[in-house]
Structure formats: C-alpha cells, structure tokens
Amino acid sequence: MARVYNFSAGPAVLPEDVLKKAASEMLEYGTTGTSVMEMSHRSKDYMDLFYKAQNDLRKLMEIPDNYEVLFLQGGASLQFSMIPMNLAVKSKKMDYVNTGVWSKKAIAEAKKFGEVNIVASSEDTTFNRIPELDKAKFNKDADYFYLVSNNTIYGTRIVDFPDTGNVPLIADMSSDILSRKVDVSKFGIIFAGAQKNIGPSGLTVVIIRKDLIGLADDSIPTMLNYRTHSEGESMFNTPPTYSAYIAGLVFEKLLNEGGLDTMESVNKKKAALLYDFLDNSKLFKPTVEPAYRSIMNVPFVTGDDQKNADFIAQATKAGFVNLKGHRSVGGMRASIYNAMPIEGVQKLVEFMKAFEQNNA
Ligand SMILES: Cc1ncc(COP(=O)(O)O)c(C=O)c1O
C-alpha cells in the first residue's frame, strides 16, 4: 500500500523525509548502537538531541531570552488545568474568549480555580467566526487573558491578537503553532500539543515568560507546577523521549528550509487553492467567512448528507483520507498542516472538481 494524502486533524501527517530519517536511525542512533527509544534520557547523546530540539524551536519562533521552553506531557488538555492552577493566584479572575470546543473545555477547568469572565463568544453561530473583542469587557485585574489561536474543529483563526496590556495573554496554539510567524513577546504563555504541526502525540510544548513561573504556592501538585519543570529543565521525570526526538527533526527541517516565513507563505498558497475552489464550487461550500478562515483546518459541506458520505467514501478510495468533519460539525474537513505537501492539496482539488462534475 502506498502512502496516502492524510488530511487528519491530529495526530496528523508528518514530513516524509523526517519519517525516513527516523526509520534510518531506528535501530542505531549515531554511534550509540541503540534506538532513541532505548536511550536513557540522562545520557549525553539523548540530552544533546533534546536540548538541541528546544534551541531549534527557540530559533524558529525567535523566542526571547526571558521565556522558557518546556517540553511536558499530559497533552494540551492538561494545560487547561495547569494554567489556572499556576496563574490564577492574585485576583483569581480570568478572561476567556469562547471560540469552540477547546476553549469550552479550558473554561470548564478554569472555573474550578476562580471566576471566569467570558469576554466574547461565537457560540450563537456555532463558532463559525471569531467574535468581536471589545476592550471594555476585558478585566483589568484579571490574572490572565486566554484564547485559542486556531480552532481545529470549526476552521477559524485569530489573525490579529488583542493587546491585553499588563494582563498576560495565553494562547492555545495546538493546531497552528509553526504555521506562521507570531511575536512571542506579546504572549505570557503559548502552548501546543505536538500532534499536529510538531510531531507525535505525547509531547506538549509550553513557551512561558519567566516571571509567570513560580507564582503558585507549594500546595499544588509538584508535577503540575511550572516551577518543577523549569528547575528540572524539562527532565524532572522521564520526558516523552521519542516524541521530542521527532519534534527535533521537524524543527531542524523547518530551519533548513527557510523558517516560518517560508512555511507561512506555502501554507497561505495551499489554503488559497482550496478556498478559491470552494468559493466557486457549485457543490461544495466553505463554512467559515473569509475574514476568519484558518489556513490549517478547512471545513466544507455539500448540504446533502448522502453526498457528503459518498464524497468521503470515494475520496478515501482514491487515497485522500481522514476528510470526515468533526462529529460536532459534520460535513468534511481538510486539515492541511505544514507537512501536507502542496501537491496533496492540488490533487484533492482536482478530485473534488471531478466529483462535482459527476454529482452536481
Ligand atoms: C486547539 C486544540 N486544543 C487542545 C486540544 C487537545 O489536545 P490534547 O489531545 O493534546 O490534549 C486539541 C486537540 O485536537 C486542539 O485542537
């Protein structure tokens, strides 16, 4: 069976050359005579690759020196609890923007630790847009302001991040980290589960401004305190060694290929190919208004459940897999993360054109 074009929302497609390199090093990494999976995380060879991965991420995202890069576990979902546990310590008030399932889950956790102010929500239109952010509704004494930069399920993204003044801005960038350049200095914390644009699941990247580490007292669990992982240099306990290794290969590749400017322009081209087709199609319709469209996750529908099902079945047969939309939205969704080659999108569009001709 040949490799297919994998439009999964995550765990998602990884760059083929990274997979090949990992395969070539599977049995023996360097001169170690062992697989990376079999190496002690305290060995020099492993520590070298682990900290190189963190440093390469620093270079890629131009992370300032007053930020730490932590490689943690527990997925992005654990951050939904760690953030309020560690940061909601002064006013215990927190501002949240509600843009879908992932912000709702984060809000539910935050409510366990203090008072949540929903600054804006797009729930009334099934999250098909980013709501207007009215500064008058921001809490000036909030312990932090939280948003999701890219909504994986609905295919919306924030293009311009709000200025929250002295209130630390926290962003869940799970599904668009490394897809575009962002000014890290605007954020208090950026976090992401690895399994979309970074590498295999198991690794969670947390980029945290140093003054936000150590705010909580020792009553919170040791493993859930950012200070523990900062002091332990992300090796307080055994890190997700293999996931971090693959992440390192991905970072190295991106750096070698021109960094995030290059990646962003390729991503824009890929997204434009698909949206241009959808905007002109007689059969398929995009579900998100142009101003809010994600360049990572592109949901679309035909308006007819049978046609959606036929399309997904025929696409799968033709080697375009995982196009089914999230169960809460229905229809289709093409996730076109960094590792999806432009040919994958071109061929998908050709396939959709042919399907449209036969089914319009
Ligand atoms: C934006 C966003 N946040 C959080 C999550 C949850 O990530 P995890 O499964 O790593 O907890 C996801 C998963 O798809 C996501 O898309």
What pLDDT sits at residue 93? 98
The residue whose C-alpha atom lies closest to atom 2 belonging to ligand 1 is 174
Q: Whose CA is nearest to atom 4 of ligand 1?
A: 76
User: Given this model, what pLDDT does residue 17 score?
Assistant: 97
pLDDT at position 111, please? 98
pLDDT reported for residue 327: 86
Residue with CA closest to ligand 1 atom 10: 75
Distance 107 CA to ligand 1 centre (A): 14
Domain spans of the chain?
5-15+258-359, 27-256
27-256: in CATH 3.40.640.10 = yes
194 C-alpha to ligand 1 centroid (Å): 9
Predicted confidence at residue 310, as pLDDT, reads: 97
Q: Report how far ligand 1's centroid is from the alpha carbon of 175 (Å).
A: 8
Instruction: Tell me the pLDDT tens digit for each residue of 201-214.
Output: 999 999 999 999 99
List Cβ<8 Å contacts ≥24 apart for 179-182: 179/150, 179/260, 179/263, 179/264, 179/267, 179/295, 179/296, 179/337, 179/338, 180/260, 180/263, 180/264, 180/267, 180/295, 181/260, 181/261, 181/264, 182/61, 182/149
Q: Please give the CATH topology (third level) of the domain spanning 5-15+258-359.
A: Aspartate Aminotransferase, domain 1 (3.90.1150)
Contact 263/180 with Cβ under 8 angstroms? yes
Per-residue pLDDT tens digits for 250-292: 999 999 999 999 999 999 999 999 999 999 999 999 999 999 9
Give the residue, by CA position, lying nearest to ligand 1 atom 16.
152
Q: How far is the CA of 353 from the centre of ligand 1 (A)?
A: 32
Low-confidence ranges of the chain (pLDDT < 50): none
What is the pLDDT at residue 328? 81
Find out whether 151 and 170 touch, Cβ atoms under 8 Å: no
Q: Is 80 in the pocket of ligand 1 (CB under 6 A)?
A: no
Q: Whole-model pTM? A: 0.98
Q: Which residues are catalytic?
A: 102, 172, 196
Q: What whole-number distance in Å separates Cα of residue 323 and Cα of residue 318?
A: 12
Helices 259-280 and 342-359 meet at what angle, rounded to 10?
A: 0
Alpha carbons within 13 angstroms on the beta-carbon side of residue 39 total 28
Q: What is residue 329's predicted lDDT score, i.e. its pLDDT? A: 85
